[in-house]
Copies of this chain bind each other. A is one copy, B any other.
Amino acid sequence: MAKPSLPQGTRDFAPDVVRRRQYILHTIKTVFELYGFQPLETPAMENLETLMGKYGEEGDKLIFKILNNGLDNPAKQEATRAAFEKALEGKNTKDLTERALRYDLTIPFARFVAMNHGQLTFPFKRYQVQPVWRADRPQRGRYREFYQCDADVVGSNSLLNEVELVQLYTEVFNRLKMDGFELRINSRKILAALAEICGGADKMVDITIAIDKLDKIGIEKVKEELGQRGLQETQISTIKQYLAIDGSNEAKLAAIETLLSESEQGKKGIAEIRFVLERTQLAGTNAPLIIDFTLARGLNYYTGIIFEVKAPATVKIGSIGGGGRYDDLTGLFGVPNMPGVGISFGVDRIYDVLEELALFPDTVAQGTKVLFFNLGESESKQAFALVQQLRGKGIATELFHEQAKMDKQFKYAEKKGIPYAIIIGSKELESGTCNVKDLRNGQQQSIGFADLLTQSFE
């Protein structure tokens, strides 16, 4: 048999990686719970029609579809052949594939709310941490299976939710000790107002597409692109002015107030940002909130405040989280008027940042604390009873699985990163003591069996 391998773009997570990932996810989930969010889980597969058409044409192509079983059913032969012909034209039909893998957590959440809105208590605050799958071309940092980690509040227009999400982000990154992260904030209403004073709402898409590229291509190229998209000199000049707004949050707000003074929408967006800033401060949260009018976050989804979290400047990795307010989550599924606001954590990137900045606590990857050596039948019988007693105290403990040379057993402890070895030989058995060795510094001491239970093995 050929050497086994993994599908492109997928990963095994070995124990130490799982433990580090769990440290991140546990931190985030703990804070979600503190803020009153409740866990939700949806299945990996959804009906194809639930997903198709929700992520744009490009997205549709990247959805993993599941082949129907029973394609050899003679009764369905004709329909199956027709489905094959469609597939050759790049079209999916239910006769070939009825189900597909989740592409994100937002659409399954919307589907859940639409299906259960009669039973739910609104505002419904849910969090969800599950893998998603995308048939993207794999590359460094981009996988075909990866975790999303989302929190959303639906059924509330209150801006207090936005304030809470700012606090939540701050709390999580503080707990992860990620000094220097930034919370960028903007409002889609401000972007809409800019479009408005630059020739009408229909320019919104052109303007946001161009602005989204600012980081990559620079202001001159952005101006060029805006020209190609049919914007006039004076309009481009306004946009340039907009993008040049700088200084403290207060200075930025003053400048944008002047620039958008003619737009009701603009004023509303500014007032909302002010509210979030003030209320966050008032609640005593020291959030690194930075107004960033160049923040656009995609095209059609968000309608109010938008967020993005930037990693500390020393790490070149871009955004490690983001979100914003939307108007109508479940309209797609026949349940209109369900506004909401949500945020997301980029778990893979957060992992990379913590790794690069050496911020994982040493204890995170530690499993077994104590290894009892196995030096013979009588010795191991005694050890086995003590192992059970230490486990009863909540200390992760192992007995080496067979009688073996000391150095083989030391090697096992070392490779597994076990800090304590406990050795019971024939002498120790006689005297009712054991030899406890701290493998990190080589120190050892003799301890009576009974006293072992009051030891701390940190």
- Chain A positions within 8 Å of B, measured between CB atoms, are 1-7, 10-15, 18-19, 22, 33-36, 38-47, 49-50, 61-62, 64-67, 69, 71-72, 77, 80-81, 84, 87-90, 96-99, 101, 111-112, 114-116, 121, 123, 125-126, 131, 133, 135, 144-145, 153, 156-158, 160-161, 163-164, 167, 171, 279, 282-285, 332-334, 367-368, 380-381, 384-385, 387-389, 391, 394-399, 401-402, 412, 415-416
The answer on a CB contact under 8 Å between B397 and A34 is: yes
The answer on a CB contact under 8 Å between A90 and B67 is: no
Query: Which residues of B have CB within 8 Å of A112?
Result: 12
The answer on a CB contact under 8 Å between A36 and B133 is: no
The answer on a CB contact under 8 Å between A40 and B67 is: no
A36-B368, A121-B412 known; 8 new pairs, CB 8 Å cut-off, are A13-B41, A15-B126, A34-B394, A71-B88, A71-B90, A125-B398, A156-B402, A167-B388
The answer, among B65, B90, B97, for a CB contact under 8 Å with A72, is B90
Query: Which residues of B have CB within 8 Å of A387?
Result: 283
Query: Which residues of B have CB within 8 Å of A114?
Result: 3-4
The answer on a CB contact under 8 Å between B36 and A398 is: yes
The answer on a CB contact under 8 Å between A47 and B367 is: no
Bound-state CA distance A389–B283 (Å) is 9
Q: How far is the CB of A279 from chain B (nearest CB, A)?
A: 7
Bound-state CA distance A121–B90 (Å) is 47
Q: List 29 A-B contacts (CB under 8 A).
A: A1-B333, A7-B45, A12-B112, A13-B40, A13-B41, A15-B40, A34-B396, A34-B397, A36-B368, A43-B145, A45-B145, A64-B69, A65-B66, A67-B96, A69-B135, A72-B87, A72-B90, A80-B88, A84-B87, A123-B401, A156-B401, A158-B402, A160-B384, A160-B399, A160-B402, A279-B381, A279-B384, A283-B385, A284-B389
The answer on a CB contact under 8 Å between A99 and B7 is: yes
Query: Which residues of B have CB within 8 Å of A87?
Result: 67, 71-72, 80, 84
Q: Which 7 A-B pairs have the closest CB atoms?
A: A72-B90, A15-B38, A10-B43, A36-B398, A121-B415, A13-B41, A18-B39
A43 and B401 contact, Cβ closer than 8 Å, known pairs A384-B160, A388-B283: no
The answer on a CB contact under 8 Å between B12 and A43 is: yes
Bound-state CA distance A164–B402 (Å) is 13
Q: How far is the CB of A43 from chain B (nearest CB, A)?
A: 4
The answer on a CB contact under 8 Å between A18 and B36 is: no
Majority-rule SS of A interface residues: mixed
From A22, A88, A279, A412, residue with most partner B Cβ within 10 Å: A88
The answer on a CB contact under 8 Å between A332 and B1 is: yes
Q: How far is the CB of A239 from chain B (nearest CB, A)?
A: 35
Query: Which residues of B have CB within 8 Å of A158?
Result: 401-402
Query: Which residues of B have CB within 8 Å of A144?
Result: 45
Bound-state CA distance A319–B72 (Å) is 35
Query: Which residues of B have CB within 8 Å of A77?
Result: 88
Query: Which residues of B have CB within 8 Å of A396?
Result: 33-36
Bound-state CA distance A327–B412 (Å) is 22
Query: Which residues of B have CB within 8 Å of A42?
Result: 12-13
Q: How far is the CB of A425 from chain B (nearest CB, A)?
A: 18
Closest B residue to A72 using CB positions? B90
The answer on a CB contact under 8 Å between A401 and B160 is: yes
Closest B residue to A109 using CB positions? B12
Q: How far is the CB of A19 from chain B (nearest CB, A)?
A: 7
The answer, among B15, B43, B415, for a CB contact under 8 Å with A39, is B15
Bound-state CA distance A163–B89 (Å) is 59
